Amino acid sequence: MALSSEHIDFIIKDLNHRGIIIEEIEAEILDHVCSAVEDRMNQGERFQDAYDRVVCAFGQTRGLLDTQQKVLEAEHQNKPGRMIKNFITIGLRNVRKQGFYSFINITGLAVGLAACLVITLFIIDELSYDKYNTKADRIYRVNNEIKFAENYYHITSSSAPTAHALQQDYPEIEATVRFRSYGSYLVRPEIATESIKENRVIWTDSTFFRIFSVNVIQGDARTALAQPASIAISNSLAQKYFPNESALGQSLLLDEKYNAKITAVFEDMPRASHFHFDMLIAMVGDWPVAQEAQSTVFLSNNFQTYVLLKEGASSRALEEKFPGFLDKYVGPQIAQIFGKGFTMKQFEESGNKYQMTLMPLLDIHLYSDLKGELEANGSVTYVYLLTAVALFILTIACINFMNLSTARSSNRAKEVGVRKVMGSMRSHLVRQFLTESTLITLFAFVVAVGLAYLILPFFNDLALKQLEIPFQSPLFYIALLLGVFLVGLMAGLYPSFILSAFNPAQVLKGTLAKGSRSGMVRSSLVIFQFIISIFLIIGAITIQRQLTYIQNKKLGFEKNQVLVVHDAYALRPNVEVFKQAVKSIAGVENCTVSGFLPVENSDVSRNDNSFWKEGKTPSTENLVSIQDWRVDDEYVQTLGMKMKVGRSFSPEFPSDSDAVVLNEAAVAQFGLGENPIGQRIATFKAQRPDGSPDPTRLSTWTVIGVVENFHFSTMREGITALGLFLRRSDGFVSIRFQGKDTQSIINEVESAWKRLAPGKPFQYGFLDDDFGKMYANEQRLGKIFGLFAGLAILIACLGLFALTSFTAEQRTKEIGIRKVLGASVPSIVLLLSREFGKLILIAFLLAAPLAWYGVDWWLNRYTYKTEIGVGVYLIAGLTAFAVALITMGYQSIRAASNNPVKSLRSE
Amino acid sequence: MHSPELLKGTLQTIVLKVLKDRGRMYGYEITNCVRELSDSRLQLTEGALYPTLHKLEAEGFLKTETVMIGKRVRKYYSLTAEGRASTRERVSEFVDFIRTMSNVLQVELG
């Protein structure tokens, strides 16, 4: 017999009551139960007894539920794809449904990720320097650290014979190469008349191509640079001078005196290299530099020396042999000057230092900031700083995500409850939420790559880089995907565990306090975000302050209104004529010719020499190494230096050719006392044939004046001893001018140049610009830091914006009731802002000491530094507070000015 | 009655073979059929049968069709081509297994 409709209804109801609710399974079990009951009733049992027996066969309620669960598991066991598809569908639906929050999440994350991406590219680039050299791990540069009396040098260069002696004495050295820089050259092909200034020129040995992996396109790398008067040039230089012909075998004229034959053309040196030369000149033959390169004197360190070790040789072991090397070669030569008593051992025992070290090629770009670098290097500090900043920004963005997810957990608590009742396991829920966070991260990554693509050109300008997003590299996509999962996990893990832990019974009864559960954690995260933001703001302000301080510090000379004409030697023999011509131009106050300027760049000469106070013996204790500057009689006036006592050079005193003007630091170091005028200092006059100084022939100089200390290197260093000597050097013509019409003065100077140095390029600059360029690194750092500090606070505020709007949304009814009872709009705005205001205050209190520490650390690198007062901290704190207030204010005011009728009516 | 433990590993094979011999069947019918074939010595529990059916379906060995029977819905299972092939394999594998077991246990099969 068939069951009646009532019986079937009863069974359905009972099964539902017992928890069989998945439609498909319910139908199947129903059919089974009905069939079994029918059979039993056919055998004469009553309906109720039959039904009880059948349910018993299933194992009562527990058995029924077990069956349902097992069926579900069996269905999904081999179809993980279906579950993921489900996760993704639901995830997408949620992303769409909560458009506003998804937008905030994706924007915040995308901006953060874009910043990270750019910084990562920057760091990868910094780390890739010199890696193009196939033998990079075996190449080392010989550094020297010398300290005696008050003098200290840590330099990248060695003496001329060092390379040769090293290779002879130590078999583990496979090859050596030296560089000698003589600044720029004016270059023209033999047949042309116009010269072009080339900056990237170096004198070097023929082993260059053996050690560095610079590809030779034309010519033979093995024989190039082996012959006197031969040069190798870069491909771009070859294109420039010989556009439609082969450059190989052609000749170039350097400074009108060196006629050099091109023996090789090499590929332009890679961007990520610590040197970029366009022209290599062979250091053999009888040109002056080549002669200097053959010198046997170990006492003047002018050659950057690189060694290539044999495979398996240890640089550490080699370094340990260097004291013996110094004893063998350097010691005897110093003893010749100071007398027989001198030994290296005694030299070091009296607190002095002479040390040769090997610096790995791959360390040079990031770790080397010594005297005589071939180019300005990067700095590992900046790499660390930027890595930290990138992580900070990413953290802030992830925190936004976490906060929004947990804050809005109440909205999803019901969903969680229902899912759990439906038999969803906790792991399913965790996966569901992780899928959602990964989806959002995926969107954010796509947007981030687009953003990074747009930002990169600006960043490149800022950081002086040529970074590109490596769209062709499969590794890039793998890294991106990894990033998606990692960030998705980072941002999604905490919320997903919070959400999936809800107890369904409580949630569905509605006892769970709305969104307040993780209030503590959320507050700490907001505090953390603002600590980072405030820290970055203080950092950016500090850098800016220090830069302003440097620009405005009393330098001891007047850097404004000075025009500097470069390469004055091109005027020879008309230098003096040019000077007089310039002086006659209206508006020109003064004019001086000298290669020495109180700024630092590759063209400005520096020359140091050791002197002692006349009457003392030239021993290591008495020697003072001073900057030995060759200037003319108008130098001090033109550059606006102040005389402290005495006078500057004057053509009225012919005896000035034996005179010296010292700075205050030099007077103190020589120990010339209160009245230095008229005292004398001495130095070795001549060199013996082998190039070492001759202790029997001295020259003396009379002090005629003392110039106030002026800064001639960066503010990172103190002012060292310096002497001005009336001698010829024609690197620059510096012109102090007056009046506003700078352009017409430049035009007149240029026409004088064209007349007196036809065919030579007229190049000029301003002293204050050159001065500014010394701090280009700091300026870049300041801008980059400012940019990312801005980004950090932007993302943090984005999160705050969403959080406030969420709170306002939650408290709509409360606000409505308050308004009905007479609360004013401002009091409600205050109510809403107070909570987050407090957090920012706490963040400020925590960030201040951290920032103080960081600022102190950074400023300690400068001998001359600005004071960072309480004001800066207050400004940073107030900025953060103000920005946050504006963000919150919008939402608060909107919520507060809502009509209470609207918010209360729906109850 | 045989212990359910012994039945565990062979459940899928039994379901597949029964369906192969009888064509389409619904769940309750399968329990009955197995009981008859085994002279009531094998009793498939519902708690084991349905998960097995759904698993085989998810793996693509079974296909289903539903028929309305008055107020209720009946779900019929039948073999797919893949299921048919797999049945043959599993049955012969099981026969093999019995032979091995008889050797291992040193008993003659009747």
Tens-digit pLDDT profile for residues A210-240: 999 999 999 998 888 999 999 999 999 999 9
The pair phi, psi for residue A5, each rounded to 5°, is: -60, -40
Q: Give B55's contacts in chain A (Cβ within 8 Å).
A: 74-75, 77-78
**Run of H or E including A189:** strand A185-189
- State the pLDDT confidence band at A136, using cuts at 50, 70 and 90: very high
Chain B residue nearest residue A80, CA to CA: B58
Two tokens, residue A348: 């070091």
Question: Does position A801 have pLDDT exceeding 60, yes or no?
Answer: yes
CB A723 within 8 A of CB A626: yes
Distance from CA of B65 to the nearest CA of A (A): 12
| Neighbouring residues of A371: CB distance < 8 A, sequence distance ≥ 6 | A153, A154, A155, A156
| Neighbouring residues of A118: CB distance < 8 A, sequence distance ≥ 6 | A452, A455, A456, A459, A467
Residue A83 sits at the chain B interface (C-beta within 8 Å)? no
Distance from CA of B80 to the nearest CA of A (A): 17
Pick the closest to residue A684 from A606, A594, A621, A623 (CA basis): A623
d(CA A847, CA A533): 9
What integer pLDDT is reported at residue B109 of this predicted model?
67
- State the pLDDT confidence band at A775, using cuts at 50, 70 and 90: confident
The stretch A189-199 carries a mean pLDDT of: 86
Pick the closest to residue A4 from A61, A12, A15 (CA basis): A12
Highest mean pLDDT among A20-34, A91-105, A725-739: A725-739
Contact between B45 and A59 using a beta-carbon 8 Å cutoff: yes
d(CA A26, CA A18): 11
Torsion of CA A416, A60, B68, B61, to 10 degrees: 80
CA distances in angstroms from A157 to A130, A145, A285, A711, listed in the order given: 19, 10, 22, 24
Lowest model confidence (mean pLDDT) among A401-415, A480-494, A528-542, A755-769: A401-415
User: Tokens 């954690």 correspond to what residue?
Assistant: A521
Mutation target vs B (from A35, A58, A69; most B CBs, 10 A cutoff): A35
Q: What's the pTM value of the predicted model, to 2 decimals?
A: 0.72
- State the pLDDT confidence band at A703, using cuts at 50, 70 and 90: very high
Distance from CA of A421 to the nearest CA of B (A): 20
CB A254 within 8 A of CB A569: no
Two tokens, residue A169: 């004495």
| Neighbouring residues of A520: CB distance < 8 A, sequence distance ≥ 6 | none
Higher per-residue confidence, A511 vs A731: A731
Residue A79 sits at the chain B interface (C-beta within 8 Å)? yes
Contact between A58 and B46 using a beta-carbon 8 Å cutoff: yes
Q: Give A35's contacts in chain B (Cβ within 8 Å).
A: 26, 28-29
Contact between B58 and A75 using a beta-carbon 8 Å cutoff: yes
Q: Give B30's contacts in chain A (Cβ within 8 Å).
A: none
Length of chain B: 110
Lowest model confidence (mean pLDDT) among A18-22, A387-391, A882-886: A18-22
Question: Does position A177 have pLDDT exceeding 90, yes or no?
Answer: yes
What integer pLDDT is reported at residue A425 of this predicted model?
77
What is the ipTM score, two decimals?
0.88
Contact between A31 and B74 using a beta-carbon 8 Å cutoff: yes
Contact between B27 and A78 using a beta-carbon 8 Å cutoff: no
CB A851 within 8 A of CB A534: yes
d(CA B54, CA A28): 11
- State the pLDDT confidence band at A373, using cuts at 50, 70 and 90: confident
Question: Does position A335 have pLDDT exceeding 90, yes or no?
Answer: no
CA distances in angstroms from A675 to A196, A494, A610, A671, A672, listed in the order given: 50, 75, 22, 10, 7
What integer pLDDT is reported at residue A511 of this predicted model?
63
Q: Give A2's contacts in chain B (Cβ within 8 Å).
A: 70
Q: Give B72's contacts in chain A (Cβ within 8 Å).
A: 8, 27, 30-31, 34
- State the pLDDT confidence band at A77, using cuts at 50, 70 and 90: low
Residue A66 sits at the chain B interface (C-beta within 8 Å)? yes
* C-beta atoms surrounding A482 within 10 Å: 10
What integer pLDDT is reported at residue A205 of this predicted model?
94
User: Tokens 């957990």 correspond to what residue?
Assistant: A409
Closest in B28, B55, B75 to A36, CB measured: B28
Closest in A5, A35, A67 to B50, CB measured: A67
d(CA A555, CA A374): 27
| Neighbouring residues of A187: CB distance < 8 A, sequence distance ≥ 6 | A195, A196, A197, A198, A241, A252, A253, A254, A279
Chain B residue nearest residue A54, CA to CA: B46
Mutation target vs B (from A32, A43, A55; most B CBs, 10 A cutoff): A32
Closest in A8, A66, A71 to B72, CB measured: A8
d(CA A352, CA A331): 13
Q: Give A66's contacts in chain B (Cβ within 8 Å).
A: 47
d(CA A786, CA A391): 16
Residue A35 sits at the chain B interface (C-beta within 8 Å)? yes
Q: Is A891 helix (H, G, I), strand (E, B) or coil?
A: helix
d(CA B95, CA A322): 84
Secondary structure in 3-state letters for A330-351: HHHHHHHHHCCCCCHHHHHHCC
Question: Does position A299 have pLDDT exceeding 90, yes or no?
Answer: no
The pair phi, psi for residue A250, each rounded to 5°, is: -80, 170
* C-beta atoms surrounding B81 within 10 Å: 10
Contact between B46 and A63 using a beta-carbon 8 Å cutoff: yes
Question: Does position A409 have pLDDT exceeding 80, yes or no?
Answer: no
What integer pLDDT is reported at residue A80 of this predicted model?
61
Two tokens, residue A129: 């320097």
Contact between B46 and A8 using a beta-carbon 8 Å cutoff: no
| Neighbouring residues of A838: CB distance < 8 A, sequence distance ≥ 6 | none
pLDDT single digits (tens) A706-735? 999 998 887 777 788 899 999 888 889 999
Residue A59 sits at the chain B interface (C-beta within 8 Å)? yes
What integer pLDDT is reported at residue A90 of this predicted model?
78
What integer pLDDT is reported at residue A513 of this predicted model?
52
- State the pLDDT confidence band at A161, using cuts at 50, 70 and 90: very high
Residue A613: is it exposed, middle or buried by C-beta count within 10 angstroms (0-12/13-18/19+)?
Answer: middle
Contact between B47 and A70 using a beta-carbon 8 Å cutoff: yes
| Neighbouring residues of A180: CB distance < 8 A, sequence distance ≥ 6 | A202, A203, A204, A283, A289, A292, A293, A302, A303, A304
- Left, alpha or beta for A111 (phi > 0: left; psi -120 to 50: alpha)? alpha
**Beta-carbon contacts below 8 Å between A and B:** 71
Contact between B74 and A30 using a beta-carbon 8 Å cutoff: no
Distance from CA of A4 to the nearest CA of B (A): 9
Average model confidence (pLDDT) for chain A?
85
Number of helices (H), then strands (E), belonging to chain A: the values are 30, 25
Lowest model confidence (mean pLDDT) among A77-81, A414-418, A621-625: A77-81
Give me the helix-helix angle, A409-421 and A426-463, nearest 10°: 140
